[in-house]
Structure 1
Amino acid sequence: MRIKVVENQRELEDAFTVRKIVFVEEQNVPLEEEIDQYEDDATHFVMYQEDSPVAAGRFRVVDGYGKVERICVMKEARKTGAGKAIMNEIQSYALMQGLHKLKLNAQTHAIPFYAGLGYEVVSEEFLDAGIPHKTMIKEV
């Protein structure tokens, strides 16, 4: 598997494809909430297995934090280390940007995954797109 920082429209569409399958089709997030006003301000990441996109995520700088967003992995690539690999790639990117504090809003079922990567819960539960979340942070 290889991870790319999105550099062109085809790679961006590949990232959007993964996000639409995972969030819109599997989790019933409305498309207009999934693809939002921050897409042009974000750095996007896409993971390929051979030539097929299997994971995606995006990164923005918000209030002095590196904000990790829209992390998703296709069913066939789950439990393979793909999620950890894309998170590590985004963390490396953040460090290259001089950012040492990362933040994300985790779906509550994914909290153990992010905790295993060193993130700590810092908020009460809240709903985003009708799905329970908690904010987590990590200093690197």
Structure 2
Amino acid sequence: MVDVRLVADETERADALAVRHEVFVEEQGVDADLEYDDHDGDAVHFVAYDGDEPVGAARLRELADDRGKVERVAVRNERRGEGIGRLLMDELERRAESLGLSTLVLHSQTHAAGFYDRLGYERHGPAFEEAGIPHVEMRKRLNG
């Protein structure tokens, strides 16, 4: 059974970063200097575990005007399609609501936008390139 945790220590943080490295740097070819940034220090991080194995990760940053930004959502390739991304997003959204955030924004890779559509996110504006990959901005109002 997969368990999503708010990162509480350096071991869990390292596990989240390892998943991101595997997905974004190794699999998608994103430059490591772009993947790891100054926001890692002030973001809230999440890691999904199957037993002791980290299988997914995400981070949430607080922005101005009671908005939050969903970033670095990653699920290991061999574990995609199992609902891990949804579990990560459910936990991230619960945390965002507990922080008093009213809206979440994200930059979805265009091939993954359908996933966020199903979670209630709406596309805003044209596609754009980020880290050499086509993205689209998406937003969702939270219930809390």
Return the alpha-carbon distance in structure 1 between the equivalents of residues 97 and 39 of structure 2: 21
The percent of aligned pairs where both chains have the same amino acid is 44
The residue number in structure 1 matching 2:72 is: 70
Equivalents in 2 of 1:19, 1:122: separation in Å?
Answer: 25
1:1-140 correspondence runs (5 A): 1-64=2-65, 65-140=67-142
Query: Which amino acid letter does the alignment assign opposite residue 95 of structure 1?
Result: E
For residues 125 and 73 of structure 1, the distance between their equivalents in structure 2, rounded to whole angstroms, comes to 23
In structure 2, C-alpha distance between the alignment counterparts of 1:92 and 1:102, rounded to whole Å: 11
Give the TM-score, by structure 2 length. Answer: 0.95
Shift of 1:119: 0.3
SS at match of 1:123: strand
AA at the equivalent of 1:137: R
Q: Which secondary structure state, in structure 1, belongs to the residue aligned with residue 38 of structure 2?
A: coil
How many angstroms apart in 2 are the aligned matches of 1:54 and 1:106? Answer: 19
Aligned amino acid, residue 21 of structure 2: K
Measure the CA separation in 2 of the matches of 1:128 and 1:63: 22
For each residue in 1:60-94, what CA deviation from the matched residue of structure 2 results, as whole angstroms up to 9, or x when unmatched? 01133111000000012110000001001000000
* Moved beyond 3 Å, runs of 4+: none
SS at match of 1:136: strand
Number of aligned residue pairs: 140
Quick one: distance in 2 between partners of 1:112 and 1:57?
18
- Per-residue CA shift, 1:1-44, capped at 9, x if unaligned? 11111111111000000000000000000001001111001000
Unaligned runs of 5+ in 2: none
Look up the SS of the partner of 1:38 in the other structure.
Answer: helix
Q: CA deviation at 1:100?
A: 1.6
Write the distance in 1 (CA, Å) between the matches of 2:100 and 2:41. 21
Inter-partner Cα distance in structure 1 for 2:58 and 2:83: 15
Distance 1:61 1:2 in 2: 24
